[in-house]
Amino acid sequence: MSDPTVGVAERQVDLAVVGAGPAGLSAAVVAAENGLTVALVDASPQAGGQYWRHPDERHLDSYARPESTGHHHWPHFRDLRTRLSRAVDAGRVLHLAGRQVWQVLRPEGAPFALRMTPTAGRDASAPADRVVHADRLVIATGAYDRQLPVPGWTLPGVMAAGGVQALYKANQVVAGRRAVVAGTGPFLLSVAAGLADAGVEVVAVCEANALSRWAATPLRATQEPGKLLEGVGYARTFLRDRIPYRTRTIVTEVRGRGRAESVVTARVDGAGRVRPGTERELEADLVAFGWGFTPQLELAVNLGLDTRIDVDESLVVRVDDAQRTSLPGVYAAGETTGIGGAVQSCAEGELAALTAVADAAATAPAERSRRLARRIRRGRRFAIGMHRASPVPRAWSDWVRPDTIVCRCEEVDAAAIAETVTGLDADDPRDVRVTARPGMGWCQGRVCGFAVSKLTAEHSGCAWTREQLEPLQKRPIGVPLRLSDVAELDIEGRITP
């Protein structure tokens, strides 16, 4: 293992971790404490990821509520943060914050090269700050809200459920006064409870599935007491604020002139088909949609890591029971391996680090690794139960009208996608993408990818496989970047000063 100080100064480390959420933060801290030099790269200016997103640490005095507002497991985060800063001070971790990795290369026989660009603002960084070399790599890039198109979802005032939560946690700003939270899964409860605590009137939480689905799955909830306690906490808020929680209910349309003013809700059957006559209009200036999460996989897919479709229909990185991916030296942890929550992500990050340490020293995993692997298997069973209880309803595309925008960036509607598949025989999302142009805009299919793949499969009658999902996850450049960043690369891909 390399000398920490020399390695860090040369931007050459034993292990690079991309993502400083629960998974990546745990991985970086544990790897450093076990002797590796580490570079921790994250798009955010401070560690914590989506789960522990919190106000700017340099300006805590200016916030009305404490930085822990709305957070579970905050003491655990504080402990990780303290250990991170200790490792940074000791020169064992190089924390590259506010930097997005847009490409990872593995030149023949050489270490991995991670290229990055600042997340925001004028690029003040020296060129040396734009590339890190590492012998091993942990992908902990997390996930973002999965979305389904519905008429009116492009109106301002409509937001991703996680985005509403992020705005509140990091900025202590609520995005409206009367809110409807809709989609599926327990995360909706957390968003609604957070809004209610912040003084927003939550006029309805619409859960597309029936609660009886939970009873049908052997959840082994007693093995996850923490989850039960969280649930009890939300229930208390719901009762206190009399938040209507409607199951088998969806939002079929958002209405408004220039911004969201109301939603139409409807009751659905088990497949998600609207039961006629159950429509109701509710006034709301904030609509938060969440249909589970989509793992952020561009770096993983570009590296060619094996993927699979998880129980929730998301494309995830395939890992062994020690968090190794199909590519030697690359590990994955957290939501990239399957949506399982923050506690699971922490355990996976820690295990990925311990496996990297064992692999680097060519030693066998120790007792701690075995315990973690057992815990992760248990967490995975819980996650499977959760996914089975809150699937994307089979008939969701019935809610979409021909003129409903599917791709927000390029403004491609459902009719254009259907015509491409049926009229031009494009049965592959790749063909649909280049022909009708969904997923070709700024976000590169991050938001519409799932829906476009689903619609293509449905219109073409093709089976739902990773071939349907991967094309819209393929983005040779992981994040949009300035042309000048590319212009500064010389022919062999080095950054020229």
Partner 1 sequence: MSPTDPRAELRFDGTPVPFVPGQSIGAALMANGISSWRTTRVEGRPRGLFCGIGVCFDCLVTVDGQRSQRACVTPAHPGQDVRSADPSTPLPLPGAADE
Contact by Cβ (8 Å): 282, 203: yes
| Amino acid at site 348 | E
Residue 73's nearest CA partner among 260, 283, 222, 229 is: 229
Span of 76-84, 115-123, 213-221, 355-363 interacting with partner 1 by CB under 8 A: 115-123
Span of 278-286, 340-348, 454-462, 486-494 interacting with ligand FAD by CB under 6 A: 340-348
- Burial of residue 345 (CB within 10 Å: 0-12, 13-18, 19+) is buried
> According to the binding rule CB under 6 A, does residue 428 interact with ligand FAD?
no
**Which among ligand FAD, partner 1, none contacts residue 22 (Cβ within 5 to 8 A by kind)?**
ligand FAD
Residue with tokens 């897919």: 301
Cβ-based nearer residue to ligand FAD, 190 or 325: 190
Strands (E), 305-404: 307-309, 315-317, 330-332
Contact by Cβ (8 Å): 420, 426: yes
CA distance 310 to 153: 26
Q: Token pair for residue 115? A: 């290229």
Cβ-based nearer residue to ligand FAD, 27 or 417: 27
Size, binding site for partner 1 by CB under 8 A: 52
> According to the binding rule CB under 8 A, does residue 167 interact with partner 1?
yes
Provide the minimum distance between the beta carbon of 48 and partner 1 in the complex, in angstroms, as a whole number. 12
**Which among ligand FAD, partner 1, none contacts residue 258 (Cβ within 5 to 8 A by kind)?**
partner 1
**Which among ligand FAD, partner 1, none contacts residue 293 (Cβ within 5 to 8 A by kind)?**
ligand FAD
- Burial of residue 121 (CB within 10 Å: 0-12, 13-18, 19+) is exposed
* Among 149, 151, 183, 341, contact with ligand FAD (rule: CB under 6 A): 341
> According to the binding rule CB under 8 A, does residue 158 interact with partner 1?
yes
Span of 8-16, 242-250, 272-280, 480-488 interacting with partner 1 by CB under 8 A: 480-488
CA distance 19 to 322: 19
Query: For 10, which DSSP code?
Result: T
**Which among partner 1, ligand FAD, none contacts residue 337 (Cβ within 5 to 8 A by kind)?**
none
Buried-state track 5-17, b at ≥16 Cβ within 10 A, e below 16: eebbeebbbbbbb
CA distance 88 to 38: 9
> According to the binding rule CB under 6 A, does residue 316 interact with ligand FAD?
no
**Which among ligand FAD, partner 1, none contacts residue 170 (Cβ within 5 to 8 A by kind)?**
partner 1
Provide the minimum distance between the beta carbon of 169 and ligand FAD in the complex, in angstroms, as a whole number. 7
What are φ and ψ of residue 25, in 5° steps?
A: -65, -45
> According to the binding rule CB under 8 A, does residue 140 interact with partner 1?
no
CA distance 216 to 394: 18
Span of 46-54, 213-221, 420-428, 441-449 interacting with ligand FAD by CB under 6 A: 46-54
Identify the bridge partners of residue 38 per DSSP, sorted by sequence position: 15, 93
CA distance 56 to 48: 11
Order the strands of the 245-247 sheet from edge to edge.
158-160, 286-291, 178-184, 201-207, 245-247
Residue 337's nearest CA partner among 306, 359, 369, 292 is: 306
> According to the binding rule CB under 8 A, does residue 278 interact with partner 1?
no
Span of 18-26, 213-221, 241-249, 259-267 interacting with ligand FAD by CB under 6 A: 18-26
**HSE-up of residue 54 (Cα within 13 Å, Cβ side):** 22
Contact by Cβ (8 Å): 406, 150: no
Cβ-based nearer residue to partner 1, 294 or 325: 294
Provide the minimum distance between the beta carbon of 63 and ligand FAD in the complex, in angstroms, as a whole number. 17
Binding-site string for partner 1 from residue 17 to residue 56, where x marks contact by CB under 8 A and - marks none: --------------------------xxx----x----xx
C-alpha to C-alpha distances, 85 to 51, 92, 196, nearest whole angstrom: 19, 10, 34
Contact by Cβ (8 Å): 434, 409: no
- Burial of residue 277 (CB within 10 Å: 0-12, 13-18, 19+) is exposed
Cβ-based nearer residue to partner 1, 102 or 144: 144
* Among 3, 79, 411, 425, contact with partner 1 (rule: CB under 8 A): 411
Provide the minimum distance between the beta carbon of 61 and partner 1 in the complex, in angstroms, as a whole number. 5
Provide the minimum distance between the beta carbon of 49 and ligand FAD in the complex, in angstroms, as a whole number. 2
**Which among partner 1, ligand FAD, none contacts residue 482 (Cβ within 5 to 8 A by kind)?**
partner 1
> According to the binding rule CB under 6 A, does residue 144 interact with ligand FAD?
yes
Cβ-based nearer residue to ligand FAD, 149 or 162: 162
> According to the binding rule CB under 6 A, does residue 43 interact with ligand FAD?
yes
> According to the binding rule CB under 6 A, does residue 444 interact with ligand FAD?
no
Binders of ligand FAD among 201-240, rule CB under 6 A?
Answer: none
> According to the binding rule CB under 8 A, does residue 119 interact with partner 1?
yes
DSSP letters along 354-377, please?
HHHHHHHHT----HHHHHHHHHHH
Residues that bind partner 1 (CB under 8 A): 43-45, 50, 55-56, 58-59, 61-63, 119-122, 144-145, 154-160, 162-164, 166-167, 170-173, 175, 258-259, 296, 408-411, 441-443, 446-447, 480, 482-484, 486-487
